[in-house]
Structure 1
Amino acid sequence: MGSSVHVKEAVLVTPFEPTPARVLTLSPIDSQLFLRFTIEYLFVYRASSSGLDQGVITARIKGALAKALVPYYPFAGRVRAQPDGSSLEVVCRAQGALFIEAVSDRFTLSEFEKAPKYVTQWRKLLSVYVADVLKGAPPLVVQLTWLKDGSAAVGVGINHCLCDGIGSAEFLNSFAELASGNRGLAELRPKPVWDRHLFDPVRNLHDYSVSHPEFNRVPDLCGFMNRFSNERLAPTSVIFDKISLNELKTLAASTSRPSELSYTSFEVLSAHVWRSWARALNLPSNQVLKVLFSVNIRNRVKPSLPSGYYGNAFVLGCAQTSVKDLIEKGLGYATTLIKRAKDRVDTEYVKSVVESVGESRASPDSVGVLIVSQWSRLGLEKVDFGLGRPIHVGPICCDRYCLLLPVFDQRDAVKVMVAVPTSGVDKYNYLVRNPYK
């Protein structure tokens, strides 16, 4: 079967105005080994009702990218390792970001109303996959694909070492506002702030006794890694509306100690997905499992980070327990573990993470791990390139990492996307939809 997406143009877009020529150092948090991959976003829009033809819209988006690369000029640079290998840096010489225009003779808007049939079904909507940004690839790739029914898909790849989810969402909204004409360059808010020196390690000033379970290895008692590498993964997609989330909160509270405070939607939903996932995989009762999730530290450190800081400003929260306890002790137990993992993150904790990743190159393991990433509160649902708000926001490829996504026109709803080994997918779908089972 031939490709369903055909590239019309691929061109390097350079900044609209001259930008500083310099080498910028990335922080120890940016330089972590596990962040050297590309965050890949997919936005899908209804056919334009503006009366503009595709050529005009393409030109506007390409022109807006050139303008956005003025304040965000590191995205037009190239990432490399520092000579001593201690961290990464960005060589800023206005080398450019990659812009692709493509057409699809198969995809339509309805394609994105459910989970993809297989993990890589939407891969061609961002045709360039950057496996290693350190080999000179552009850290930013944008692809505009015109779909068969006149709708449009915008795929965006941003290398994670340059920014986190909050930072990338701020960039995407600024880029989109320039494309839609809602704001000019001088009016963009927040103004992007580099300031990576704020995470320079302060050595020998503290005796850190903070434990970091996210970096500790646990025994693989069941061929966990082999299962995820050898068995085909099946994408899943489930929407939780406000009523469903409140039901989860009630259920978690009913299985918690009275001393525990109220739970957030993220805490109960992550716990519910974690338990459903663990039960569906039929793992041995003594296997240790972890759920890892990012904790935004912009306002958890003192002093807080400046508005517009778009670098990686998160640490990994880690809840850990045995399969037996996770399944038998109920939703409240799992939710409490996640809540406590969030609550322990403060200034001292962050400093100890910076030390750990900067000196020992500490990195999380994958055995027994479910990673949950919250995209539903980043503002991605507002990214409007002049085509209206996106009907669908999600990843290019559905993966074993669990994403919590915004739902079009349902502000309080969350879509959960995760790929599960085929042997457990039916049980997972049943359990995640039936929290009282």
Structure 2
Amino acid sequence: MSSEIAKYVSECFIKPKYEVQEAKQPYYLAPMDLGMLFAHYIQQGLLFAKPSNLGDEQFSIHKLLQSLKDSLSLTLVHFYPLAGQLTSLMDEAGQKCLVYVDCNKGPGARFIHATLDMTISDILLPTDVPEVVQSFFDHEGAVNYDGHYMSLLTIKVTELLDGVFIGCSMNHALGDGTSYWHFWNVWSEIHRAKAGESVPVSRMPIHNRWFPDGYGPAIYLPLIQPDDFISLQEKPDQLRVRIFHFSSDSIAKLKAKANEEHNHNNTSSEISSFQALSALYWRSIIRALNLAHDQVTNCRLTTNNRHRLNPPLPQEYFGNCIGALKTTTTVGELLEHNLGWAASLLHQSVTNYGDKVVRDFIHRWLHSPAVFKLDVLTDCYSVMMGSSPRFDMYGNEFGLGKAVAVRRGYANKFVGKVTSYPGVEGGGSVDLEICLPPHSMEALESDEDFMNVVSLPLKG
């Protein structure tokens, strides 16, 4: 089945339903947006079971596609930058460039219809995420800089024999995971309203760009050449990608264990569920990689900076406002100590991460603007967590009922990458997608400390 791919049927481009006055002005990118030009697009999507009937009507893929297009056009009125394209403007000396969004450039957001002669079980039952899932998304191999000539947003709807996958690929330079799922939530809200005209939105996106005092709105970067990004478009070496499920009960027990071991150090602070889970997979993955004990290892947690700024930014701020919270030790120290010790390190990093750390990082970047490179932020001796189980993924409905699973494309995958989702049953359950070389994944699957915490997934 690895040779199967979703078959292209048709495509069109979607523009905002109404003219947006703000779209006539350049949409400048903030510092944390510009730093993301190196990365791949965000590729995540929802798998739905195909309903046998809808009241007195039979399910129609054509009616679904039309309703998705109509609601997307209304949604783009509020998320109008996603219908534009990136544009670069050189300075007079030809040494720097300004990258911004021209909201009226290009044909709009891309909308693709595809089919696949496979079932939901073919997607969900294999131990590893099947490679065919990669074909559920647009922008394969693209990096955000490619938004100069590619759509900044693509919706790809793939009809399975008994299901529908709605895949969304969004340029990461325009928004982070918080913004990405905010777009989904608003799109779902508008779709459920089934209105042909403008629909009131409960949480409007905020497009006022955030810059530290004295900076912006136009920030010039050192001259960028398209060839600088070619190596980033290559697929990673062979990786196994598997999703591990953790029930709310399993996580509660893990948290209790971490706190019991943590409190032996006579501290009154409490380890969170997320810190306990992160400590578990950090220790387990590093053990599976079989590294030298004196090797330095990091656990990087992608974190939302909005509420850490003072004054805080609203969660509706549309853009990138994230950081990579880094905790460092050696392989020997990590594995010779227990879960509580590792969780304590992560807890301390979280405690120390606040407004000053965020602003200091941004000010350093502004004094020497640069596009981050993936090989600087990652290595094969560490782990990096992306996404969040706090995002409202399963609350998105499009007339198909609740989704049965979340899946993502190959974008931004590398050794030690961990992506977190809420479990389909909710209640604090979590799914972790882990990427490892085959021999390391086999070692992880044989790790009793790790697998004893893993739960059987809820069957849809």
- The TM-score with structure 2 as length reference comes to 0.83
* Mapped pair 1:404 → 2:410: no
Instruction: Give the RMSD, CA atoms, in angstroms.
Output: 2.4
Any gaps of 5 or more consecutive residues in structure 2?
Answer: 216-234, 455-460
- The letter for the 2-side match of 1:145 is T
Give the whole-Å Cα distance in 2 for the aligned partners of 1:156 and 1:269. Answer: 28
* Mapped pair 1:245 → 2:251: yes
SS at match of 1:67: helix
Tell me the equivalent position of 2:17: 16
| Preserved contact between residue 193 and residue 199 of structure 2 (Cα < 8 Å) | no
Query: Aligned in 2, Cα 1:86/1:316: closer, same or farther, shift over 3 Å?
Result: farther
* Mapped pair 1:121 → 2:132: yes
| Preserved contact between residue 193 and residue 309 of structure 1 (Cα < 8 Å) | yes
Q: Choose from 32, 38, 42 the match for 1:39.
A: 42
- Percent of residue pairs bearing the same amino acid type: 22
Deviation at 1:202, TM superposition (A): 4.7
Give the whole-Å Cα distance in 2 for the aligned partners of 1:332 and 1:385. Answer: 42
* Mapped pair 1:324 → 2:332: yes
Give the whole-Å Cα distance in 2 for the aligned partners of 1:81 and 1:418. Answer: 36
Per mean C-alpha deviation after superposition, the further-off stretch among 253-262 and 377-386 is 253-262
Tell me the equivalent position of 1:428: 444
- The TM-score with structure 1 as length reference comes to 0.87
Tell me the equivalent position of 1:25: 28
Q: Choose from 390, 399, 416 the match for 1:386.
A: 399
Q: Which runs of 4+ in 1 moved over 6 A?
A: none
- The letter for the 2-side match of 1:65 is L
- The letter for the 1-side match of 2:451 is R
| Preserved contact between residue 71 and residue 192 of structure 1 (Cα < 8 Å) | yes
Per mean C-alpha deviation after superposition, the further-off stretch among 9-18 and 251-260 is 251-260
Per mean C-alpha deviation after superposition, the further-off stretch among 256-265 and 36-45 is 256-265
Matched ranges for 1:255-404 at <5 A: 255-256=261-262, 257-360=265-368, 361=370, 363=372, 364-367=376-379, 368-397=381-410, 399-400=413-414, 401-404=417-420
SS at match of 2:429: strand
| Preserved contact between residue 29 and residue 357 of structure 1 (Cα < 8 Å) | no
* Mapped pair 1:70 → 2:81: no
Tell me the equivalent position of 1:223: none
SS at match of 1:338: helix
Tell me the equivalent position of 1:220: none
Give the whole-Å Cα distance in 1 for the aligned partners of 2:40 and 2:128. Answer: 24
Deviation at 1:403, TM superposition (A): 0.8
Query: Aligned in 2, Cα 1:47/1:289: closer, same or farther, shift over 3 Å?
Result: same
Give the whole-Å Cα distance in 1 for the aligned partners of 2:258 and 2:300. Answer: 19
Query: Aligned in 2, Cα 1:148/1:162: closer, same or farther, shift over 3 Å?
Result: same
SS at match of 2:344: helix
* Mapped pair 1:168 → 2:180: yes
Give the whole-Å Cα distance in 1 for the aligned partners of 2:299 and 2:98. Answer: 27
Tell me the equivalent position of 1:89: 100
- The letter for the 2-side match of 1:375 is S
Deviation at 1:128, TM superposition (A): 3.7
Per mean C-alpha deviation after superposition, the further-off stretch among 238-247 and 273-282 is 238-247
Tell me the equivalent position of 1:6: 7
Give the whole-Å Cα distance in 2 for the aligned partners of 1:182 and 1:293. Answer: 38
Deviation at 1:45, TM superposition (A): 0.4
* Mapped pair 1:55 → 2:71: no
Cα shift readout 1:377-404 (whole Å, capped 9, x = no counterpart):
1111111112112110131238332011
Per mean C-alpha deviation after superposition, the further-off stretch among 125-134 and 251-260 is 125-134
SS at match of 2:241: strand
Cα shift readout 1:234-286 (whole Å, capped 9, x = no counterpart):
11221111121122112212322221511211111111001100000100001
Tell me the equivalent position of 1:100: 112
SS at match of 2:267: coil
- The letter for the 1-side match of 2:438 is T
Give the whole-Å Cα distance in 1 for the aligned partners of 2:89 and 2:384. Answer: 29
SS at match of 1:320: strand
Give the whole-Å Cα distance in 2 for the aligned partners of 1:87 and 1:377. Answer: 34
Give the whole-Å Cα distance in 1 for the aligned partners of 2:129 and 2:430. Answer: 21
| Preserved contact between residue 4 and residue 132 of structure 2 (Cα < 8 Å) | no
| Preserved contact between residue 17 and residue 76 of structure 2 (Cα < 8 Å) | yes
Per mean C-alpha deviation after superposition, the further-off stretch among 359-368 and 74-83 is 359-368
| Preserved contact between residue 27 and residue 87 of structure 1 (Cα < 8 Å) | no
Cα shift readout 1:323-351 (whole Å, capped 9, x = no counterpart):
00111111112111211222222221111
Give the whole-Å Cα distance in 1 for the aligned partners of 2:392 and 2:104. Answer: 30
- The letter for the 2-side match of 1:8 is V
| Preserved contact between residue 394 and residue 405 of structure 1 (Cα < 8 Å) | no
* Mapped pair 1:145 → 2:148: no
Tell me the equivalent position of 2:202: 189
* Mapped pair 1:157 → 2:187: no
Any gaps of 5 or more consecutive residues in structure 1?
Answer: 204-227
Deviation at 1:16, TM superposition (A): 0.8
Query: Aligned in 2, Cα 1:116/1:163: closer, same or farther, shift over 3 Å?
Result: farther
- The letter for the 2-side match of 1:101 is H
Query: Aligned in 2, Cα 1:286/1:162: closer, same or farther, shift over 3 Å?
Result: same
Cα shift readout 1:151-173 (whole Å, capped 9, x = no counterpart):
10001001111011111111111
